[in-house]
């Protein structure tokens, strides 16, 4: 019986890596889609919410929430999710996959100040120090403090993606203590799909097979399936391990961009990325020990 535990743990770690690799592929697949970022984000949430609804019905998951407040929080988080993914894909299109994934990883910078404010917790000196180092890492990646520079614009979009993800993390901290992760995601992605549906209908797009397959793959593989794998695998590993593996999303994204798009990060982006990822992983380790 004791031999089965390590095997299960190893399988879970492998599944976590596969899920994070799928997450990391989303920006790369988005570069193969010839459509505005808002359309890619809209297609993603429509595909993923439909898939999650089907999975929820098959598994007979409880979909009813307990209160009007919870419905409001879930829907509002979905609206923020729509902004988050639009900004993320816009960052990748404006600059590069490396810029979008690196700046997104700076979300702990915003959590440092938002989390104590929302949950009335004490702002720790260690968190402030981490935020300062994160800000340094972001500053290093900026080549020119001018909006005429595409890389700088991409970094700004990436920071919007990071800020909205930080806000989503706070609302999910509240919801995850009450509901299953799949239920939360279904409401949030469904709300995001409603918000972005007008873009799918009104923004002019050449709906080629490549565009349809690309958006479908992002929604199905990189979102619905990847999320289900991630949640399932998390049950058999420590939160500390899951946090470290999650930090690999940026690394996988950059590697996939190098392999499939020929995008190599600059020295400035590598240095800034190493700083940001190191602080993000340190924050994950520190929070798991609380």
What is the rounded CA–CA span in Å between residue 109 and residue 116? 12
- For CA atoms 232, 252, 242, 179, the dihedral sign is negative
pLDDT attached to residue 139: 82
**Better pLDDT: 85 or 236:** 85
pLDDT attached to residue 3: 44
Which residue range(s) make up the domain with 222? 4-288
pTM to 2 decimals? 0.85
- What number is the average pLDDT over the span 203-223? 92
CB burial readout 27-40, b (16+ within 10 A) else e = bbbbbebebbbbbb
Q: How confident is the model at residue 238 (pLDDT cuts 50, 70, 90)?
A: low
pLDDT attached to residue 124: 76
Res 171 pLDDT > 60:
yes
- pLDDT digits 0-9 by tens, 261-285: 998 888 888 888 888 788 777 766 6
The count of domains in the chain is: 1
Highest mean pLDDT among 52-61, 63-72, 224-233, 236-245: 63-72
């Amino acid at each position: 019986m004791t031999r089965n535990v390590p095997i299960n743990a190893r399988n879970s770690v492998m599944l976590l890596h596969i899920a994070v690799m799928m997450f990391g592929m989303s920006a790369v697949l988005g570069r193969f889609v010839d459509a505005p970022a808002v359309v890619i984000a809209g297609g993603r949430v429509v595909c993923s919410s439909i898939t999650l609804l089907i999975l929820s019905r098959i598994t007979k998951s409880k979909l009813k929430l307990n209160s009007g407040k919870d419905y409001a929080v879930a829907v509002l988080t979905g609206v923020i999710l729509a902004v988050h993914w639009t900004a993320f894909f816009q960052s990748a299109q404006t600059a590069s996959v490396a810029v979008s994934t690196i700046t997104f990883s700076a979300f702990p910078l915003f959590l440092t100040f938002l989390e104590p404010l929302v949950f009335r917790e004490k702002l720790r000196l260690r968190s402030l120090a981490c935020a300062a180092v994160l800000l340094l890492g972001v500053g290093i990646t900026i080549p020119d403090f001018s909006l005429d520079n595409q890389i700088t614009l991409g970094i700004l979009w990436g920071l919007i993606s990071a800020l909205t993800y930080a806000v989503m993390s706070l609302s999910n901290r509240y919801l995850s203590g009450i509901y299953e992760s799949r239920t939360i995601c279904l409401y949030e992605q469904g709300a995001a799909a409603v918000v972005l549906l007008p873009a799918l209908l009104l923004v002019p797009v050449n709906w080629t097979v490549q565009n349809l397959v690309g958006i479908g793959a992002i929604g199905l593989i990189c979102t619905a399936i990847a999320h289900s794998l991630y949640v399932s695998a998390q049950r058999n590993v420590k939160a500390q391990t899951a946090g470290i593996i999650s930090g690999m999303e940026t690394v996988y994204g950059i590697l996939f961009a190098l392999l499939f798009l020929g995008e190599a990060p600059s020295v400035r982006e590598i240095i800034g990325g190493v700083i940001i990822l190191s602080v993000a992983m340190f924050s994950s380790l520190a929070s798991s020990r609380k």
